[in-house]
Amino acid sequence: MCVHADVPFACMFNVLLDMAVTYQTAMKVMVGLDFRTYDGTRLAHIEAFTDQFETYAMQRSLAENTYAYAFPSTFLIPFLIEPIVTVLVPYQIGRLIIRTHREVQGNGAEDFLAAFDFDLGRYADILLNVFLGILIFYFPGGYTWSLFYGMFISHIVIYLFDHWRVLDVIPNIKITSYQVDWWAQAMLAGCCAMIMSVLVFKANCESYSGYCIKDMQLISATALAGAAHFLVHMLLLIYVVPKFGVDIKDMTKDTQYKDVAKYEAYSWFSVNPVHCLRSQLLHKREPYCRFVSPGKEHLLERNEAIGCYFADLSAQTEDFSAPTFSGSMKAFKSVTGYS
């Protein structure tokens, strides 16, 4: 499963290589089995690539392989395995390490139990799914609905998993730039270009299209249509889309460090462990600059003389203890007022 923003290109290229190998393998098998077209022509006697590609036998074979590649192999199974591999197994291993090594304490123990930081690799996963969904349009429509039903179900699973992970698992997340989202939009332009390429390919030799070309002419036409669509899409994304944006007043022009540090626990001072130790042991500040960690921001103390402006109350934690009957009755009486 793709986990980095630059990996979708490699994944898509890998899919195309798989399709090329599948095509060559299926072609040799069908020639060996003496497959014929609907008019009785042997597949071995068809020389034009486009004519070979558009035979029912090849179309069905490639569609079956694309469907099997996509669902459930790519759309669903990796995302069912992901919470086990990335959340449950590391958590159990961390518990085992802490239980068997008493020297692991404090922040070190918490680090062993904390989940992996949330990354934006999900953009790559979804883009690969979109690519496979578009690829099925090159083939007969019998697999299209089945594939998109599988994609629909799989993306519900992905959404539920990410929803649970963001709210209940990862320690913190902070996104400070739109760069990843912008590049995801740019990569989506390639997927939209594939749709235009499919349209040109499928319209070939149809009564409504007005053109009927073969071999390299058809391949060149589909490639040119896709490239032109990609170019127009990118130009619109770069020059037209920003015109519809809302101008945001620059709030940083007259903002001072202390104004931001009052609301932001993570500053140069609080994330620098050496500075915190120096503040406590060498300069003996009172209160000294404390090191910040996720979930413990309330432990920071304000000392404006040394650049520490943040202070906050501890968050209200959930009570995970099993409720007793007497405790439930007391809570009920306190809420309803019944004696």
Q: What is the pLDDT of residues 1-54, one digit of tens each?
A: 444 445 666 777 777 788 788 778 888 888 887 888 777 788 888 877 777 777
Contact between residue 134 and residue 195 where contact means Cβ atoms under 8 Å apart:
yes
Dihedral class, residue 105 (left if φ above 0, else alpha if ψ from -120 to 50, else beta): beta
Give pTM, 2 decimals. 0.72
Q: Which pair of tokens denotes residue 129?
A: 């799914």
Q: Which residues make Cβ contacts (< 8 Å) with residue 218, sequence separation at least 6?
A: 50, 201, 204
Proportion of the chain above pLDDT 70, given as a percent: 88
Asked if pLDDT for residue 243 goes beyond 80, the answer is yes
Q: What is the pLDDT of residues 268-316, one digit of tens each?
A: 999 999 999 999 999 999 999 999 888 888 889 999 999 999 988 876 6
Average pLDDT over residues 64-89: 89
User: How high does pLDDT run on average in the chain?
Assistant: 83
Residue 303: what are its φ and ψ, rounded to 5°? -150, 90
Contact between residue 134 and residue 198 where contact means Cβ atoms under 8 Å apart:
yes
Dihedral class, residue 158 (left if φ above 0, else alpha if ψ from -120 to 50, else beta): alpha
The residue type at 291: F
- Confidence at residue 2, expressed as pLDDT on a 0 to 100 scale: 44
Q: What is the pLDDT of residues 101-147, one digit of tens each?
A: 888 888 788 888 888 878 778 888 888 899 889 988 888 777 888 88
How far apart CA 302 and CA 290 sit, in angstroms, is 10
- Confidence at residue 47, expressed as pLDDT on a 0 to 100 scale: 78
How far apart CA 229 and CA 192 sit, in angstroms, is 8
How far apart CA 339 and CA 332 sit, in angstroms, is 10
Asked if pLDDT for residue 338 goes beyond 60, the answer is no
How far apart CA 213 and CA 207 sit, in angstroms, is 13
Asked if pLDDT for residue 336 goes beyond 60, the answer is no
How far apart CA 232 and CA 193 sit, in angstroms, is 10
Q: Which pair of tokens denotes residue 145?
A: 């609905």
Residue 287's closest CA among 307, 271, 264?
Answer: 307
Cα Rg for the chain, rounded, in angstroms?
A: 29
Asked if pLDDT for residue 227 goes beyond 60, the answer is yes
Q: Where are the alpha helices (DSSP H) in 173-214?
A: 179-203
How far apart CA 110 and CA 168 sit, in angstroms, is 15
Residue 128's closest CA among 236, 42, 8?
Answer: 8
End-to-end CA distance of the chain: 59
Half-sphere exposure of 154 (CA within 13 A, CB side): 24
Which residues, listed in sequence order, are joined to residue 303 by a DSSP beta bridge? 308
84-88: long-range contacts, CB 8 A cutoff, minimum separation 24: 86/115, 86/116, 87/115, 87/165, 87/169
